[in-house]
Amino acid sequence: MTSNHVVFFDTTLRDGEQSPGCSMTTQEKLTMAHALEDLGVDIIEAGFAMASEGDFAAIATITQAIRKPRIASLARAKTEDIEMAARSLQFAGRPRIHIFLASSDLHLEYKLKISRQEALDLTAESIRHARTFVDDVEFSPEDATRSDRDFLVEMVGIAVEAGATTINMPDTVGYSTPEEYGRMFAEVRERIPAIDAQGIVLSSHCHDDLGLAVANSLAAIQSGARQVECTINGIGERAGNAALEEIAAALFVRGDHYGRSTSIKLEKLYATSQVLGQIITFHPSPNKAIVGDNAFAHESGIHQHGMLANPLCYEIMTPALVGVAKTSLVLGKHSGRAALRNRLEQLGFALDREELQQTYYRFVALADRKKNIYDQDLIGLLPDQIRERRHVPVAELD
């Protein structure tokens, strides 16, 4: 793996599934895992084996069907969790145990009720125990961004000494900013030389409580993170996780800025998003970047005119790049004559300048009263003599 390659760790089936309305059956998880494999995801976090029999079964099933990506199973820094994770991964070609333990004083005092020293001891013990089962162990100091920096560095150092091969520093509650998050990665790398010397992979995992999950993830990548943890459509706890499709698209479209490569097949992003939407109880918001219904839709007359002249005027990527069929020029009250003429010509009606002007007046009046304008509505606006030039049965317009 080159230093400029970013590994995509997808946690749709674990952290994503924890979001309300996102529960999946074992079969649904398997369907999603196949879609993630086709997408080119490097690592799939298939579940939290200790959480339930269903999660254990899903992980075990996925390990037998999915061969290209690594399969990870989450575990707390507890012996029983680690051993359960190991059993769930027994059929995996390339298994990973992902251990997490809180590093912030807030979590240590109120949630775990243990001291800093106890947390450090558990870190070392749990990683060493996991290494008896697998060679690939990831460690996450939970709530890293709200942790005392000296203590975080101490915990990460101990994790590296104990044999962790990937260190993930999560913004568990979506608290950080890009500048802060990037600095954290840079500082940890600087203060623990073994990370670079031993080729330890640093990983980001961001939540979207302040709407900064993707920005924070990209900041981490710029500061040396070579793995990014994310989910399809950005699903996850509370406001969600960093959206895989947004990070992948940003790294490609702004390759001049980031200079990073990935294994993600961008043309499969939209299809993968749709698979998830069909499995869980909701699809992405229409204005969702990359995969939302409106991501490549234009209603403004100024934008539509520019798009007809040259799509680059208002689109920084082609719809085909991410697997969307085509750009959509939506006709509404903000649309202009150029878009109206374009759609009428597609329907087989060529209007001269005066005819277009009169039809446009009627169109604007209709659009002020009606939210959705259909092809039948457009044809209905045309005078009889224009409609007679070409008869289009209603059935052909559906």
| pLDDT beyond 50 at 300 | yes
C-alpha–C-alpha distance, residues 123 and 118, integer Å: 9
Mean pLDDT of 335-361: 92
- pLDDT of the residue at 229: 98
pLDDT tens-digit series, residues 355-386: 999 999 999 999 999 888 888 899 999 988 88
Domain boundaries of the chain, sorted by first residue: 7-279, 297-397
Are the C-beta atoms of residues 13 and 33 closer than 8 Å to each other?
yes
Q: How far apart are CA 145 and CA 169, in angstroms?
A: 8
Contact of 233 with 19, CB cutoff 8 Å = no
Mean pLDDT (the chain, rounded): 94
pLDDT at residue 394 tops 50: no
Q: By mean pLDDT, which of 105-114, 212-221, 297-306 is the weakest? A: 297-306
- C-beta separation of 138 from 203 below 8 A: yes
C-alpha distances in angstroms, 170 versus 17, 68, 175, 185, 227?
A: 18, 26, 10, 11, 12
φ and ψ at 23, to 5 degrees? -60, 145
Q: Kindly tell me the burial class for residue 361, based on how many C-beta atoms sit within 10 Å of its own C-beta (0-12, 13-18, 19 or more).
A: exposed
- Collect all residues with Cβ–Cβ distance below 8 Å to 391 and sequence separation of at least 6: none
Q: Which positions ≥6 away from 170 have C-beta within 8 Å?
A: 140, 141, 142, 143, 144, 145, 204, 205, 206, 207, 229
Q: What is the pLDDT of residue 302?
A: 81
What confidence score (pLDDT) does residue 304 get? 83
**So what's the pLDDT on residue 398?**
41
Looking at domain 7-279, its CATH class is alpha beta
As a whole number of angstroms, the distance between CA 73 and CA 51 comes to 11
Tokens representing residue 97 in the block: 């145990």
CA distance 219 to 25: 35
Give the DSSP letter string of 44-60. Answer: EEEEETTT-HHHHHHHH
Residues in contact with 145: Cβ distance below 8 Å, sequence separation at least 6, in sequence order: 169, 170, 171, 172, 173, 175, 176, 180, 181, 184
